[in-house]
Structure 1
Amino acid sequence: MRIQSMTKAITSASALRLVAMGRLGLDDPLVRWLPELADRRVLVSPTAALSDTVPAARPITLRHLLTNTSGYGMILVDSPLRRAMVENGTDAGVGPVMLGSQEWLSRLTDLPLAFQPGEGWRYHHSFAILGILISRVTGRPARDQLRDDLFRPLGMVDTGFRVPVEKVHRLPAAYRQTEMGPTETEPAGGGFHVGDPPFEESHSELVSTAEDYLGFLRMLVHGGVAQTGPARGERMLPIELAAAMVSDQTPAAAKAPDSFFSPTFWDETGWGYGVSVATSGPHRGRYTWLGGQGTTFHVDPDGTIGILLTQREVDDELMGLFSEFQGLPRG
């Protein structure tokens, strides 16, 4: 299945493993590995003219990427910045990436930040940058780092950026609901994730299976200790980093009503590292996220795990299904 933004939790764990190894710090400036992030300019407001900027008050750090507070992200209202992102191909949608990692990053960093790093929240782009960062720090494509450092140790044999030719028969078609009914957007056994990559794709998203993703989540449930694969019983993440990943890490000042699709998003929700976290309400402590191609998961404080995978673009009807799924009894 194309899991799209469920990738964010996986790349977060990969980055945190680099932190645990001492190769990267949560608050280290990233210009050492990403010189494209040097000397950032920041819009005086997210809707300002592209020339109406001030210098960045601080450098972008790993913590900013993990919490969607880097200054880059989806712009949800019409503005010069949003129009510029559409024009240069760096806006985000539910489709696969259309530019190689270096070209995408170069185009993105030609534009100013929407807000000062750490002072606002916008979705998605920080995690594409995170994939590129993992590649730069390790000196090899993110696909190789994730494979050797996470997927093989956890026994996630069907997770990666590409579907091998011998497994393409297991990849279902992808759909979008239209007035004419379900319309195929990628064929069964085909589409972006099949065959040789068209470009370097460290900023892209993964395909996976329920079994593989369950193994990954069980590692988080057990405080960073692997429960599956060759690494079973081994600590993959320090307990403090595993706990931080699934607890709210977003500054209150960054939780503006206009930062995400719903103005009530932050009412009972926080954001950890690659996952949202219920901060109040009946599911307090649950961490979860979804992918634009109709996939979602959640983990409750008692360790109950739920995974739902479809291959239909998220719409109002599918969100209703997600709500029903999230409301299922625990255990």
Structure 2
Amino acid sequence: MSDTAASPESVGISSDRLARIRPAMQRWIDRGTIAGASMMIARRGTIVYAEQVGRMSKETDEALRSDAIFRIYSMTKPIVCTALMTLYEEGRFQLITPLATFIPAFANVKVLQQDKEVAPQRPITIGDLMTHLGGFTYDFLIDSPVGELYRQHELMHNAQRTLQQFVDELARLPLAYHPGTKWHYSVSIDVAAHVIEIIADQPLRHFLRERIFDPLGMVDTDFYVPPEKRHRLAAMYGVGDLGARGMTILQMFFNWQQGILERIDPQESYPVDQPETFARGGHGLFSTVQDYMRFALMLLNGGTLDGTRILGRKTLELMHANHIPPALLPWDIAGIAYPGYGFGLGSRVLMDVGLSGMPGTAGEFGWAGAATTYYWVDPAESFAGVFMTQYQGLDEPQRDFRALAYQAIVD
């Protein structure tokens, strides 16, 4: 499998139908929602579409570069879970292994229940961390009082802490839910990232470089952007910065309702220049469309790319099976449900196309980021897509991109 460009028609894609993507994205730019978008589509192992629309920023006339660098936020999660599963393949843990085996402080964690801290019904497992069943939450979520504790301790905002310091602080706070009783989007993959550091006895950044980035040729993906590359950073806009001090999803919604749309500088919570402290499992990476497509192509090809194997095929099948019991579906984020989807180890997993309301195939998987980055891998169709812009808000241009990509399949 290669990422060499191919004729769309040679792999069952219509060039005429792909041409619909650009004007659709231009409409988002004309409305002022985004400054630009970088997009890539692959089928049967080859790139069939790669295009940039718009500008690097709204304040300049510089066209969006093909090598533009984006803050990918939660699209960090699938990479970190893939890295952790390379250690699973070495027999270093099982999904049912208690988290406290590696981080003893979590043996004493409590659950905040009706203003009282109680013992959890069962321990947090390593599998819980990747499936969001661990009982944690996020600073910006408001459906549990534990979210307010996270905001008070600036878990997501404070980029000056190392990953170990972040997890140490988290372990002193109660859980929002009993492990295994509720799917809840959370900082749990940050904890999983620290488990990597403990097992491998090396910093997360170095481990990702050795296990994922260097083998796949992901030359621009890191928790750091060197000075000579910073002119390639795409500007960010939105209704607010999800990582800002005290920010909640409710405040983001109010800002969106009021028509707020402004340039955002997330340097304080998502710095370009602090790799000695800023490395996380749930967000934090910078990347490009080209780099992330190489990661996606590896997943699509059963764990290998250009002769380099990252994971075994059966491990990937385990990762991208649904791990969420039917009683806990559909899962939701901030009250927005995602029917038709289950969840695997770090990624959504499509189970019912009709319920999802989007084109796809059962078994498709992927994830997205807070600044409107998005990817999917559809093994049945041998089809992958990557979309990147820098917009924090409630509008969803990535859904248009996905629909337009799938409608171009004609075989």
- Distance in 2 of aligned mates of 1:141 and 1:260: 30
Residues 168-198 of structure 1 deviation map (CA, whole Å, 9 limit, x = unaligned): 11112222247676422228x9984422336
Q: Is the 8 A contact 2:124 2:134 kept in 1?
A: yes
Give SS of 1:316's match: coil
TM-score scaled by length of structure 2: 0.70
Q: Which residue in the other structure is 1:84 paired with?
A: 149
Q: Counterparts of 2:147 and 2:186 in 1: how far apart (Å)? A: 14
Aligned to 1:286: 364
Partner of 2:26: none
TM-score by length of 1: 0.86
Matches within 5 A, 1:1-331: 1-44=70-113, 48-49=114-115, 51-53=116-118, 55-74=119-138, 76-77=141-142, 79-90=144-155, 92=156, 97=159, 99-177=161-239, 182-186=261-265, 192-197=270-275, 199=277, 201-203=279-281, 204-225=283-304, 227=305, 232-255=306-329, 259-265=332-338, 267-281=339-353, 282-283=359-360, 284-300=362-378, 301-313=380-392, 315-317=393-395, 319=396, 321-328=397-404, 329-331=407-409
Unpaired runs of 5+ residues, structure 2, are 1-69, 240-254, 354-358
- How big is each residue's C-alpha offset from its partner over 1:4-49, in whole Å with a ceiling of 9 and x where there is no partner? 10111100100111101122322212223212211222234xxx21
Counterpart contact for 1:276–1:287, Cα < 8 Å: yes
Structure 1, unpaired ranges of 5+: none
Q: Structure 1: how far apart are the matches of 2:201 and 2:234?
A: 33
Residue deviations 1:223-255 (CA, integer Å, cap 9, x gap) = 112x2xxxx223321211111222211222333
Any idea what SS the aligned residue of 2:314 has?
Answer: helix
* DSSP 3-state at the match of 1:199: coil
SS of match in other structure, 2:309: coil
Q: Percent identity?
A: 31
Q: How many residues of Structure 1 are paired with residues of Structure 2 in the alignment?
A: 312
Q: Secondary structure at the match of 1:184?
A: strand
Letter in 2 for 1:264: A
Shift of 1:78: 5.0
What is the one-letter code of the residue matched to 2:333? F
Contact preservation (8 Å) 1:141, 1:200: no
| 168 and 117 in structure 1: CA distance in 2 versus 1, 3 angstrom threshold | same
1: distance between equivalents of 2:269 and 2:198? 27
How many angstroms apart in 2 are the aligned matches of 1:234 and 1:136?
Answer: 26
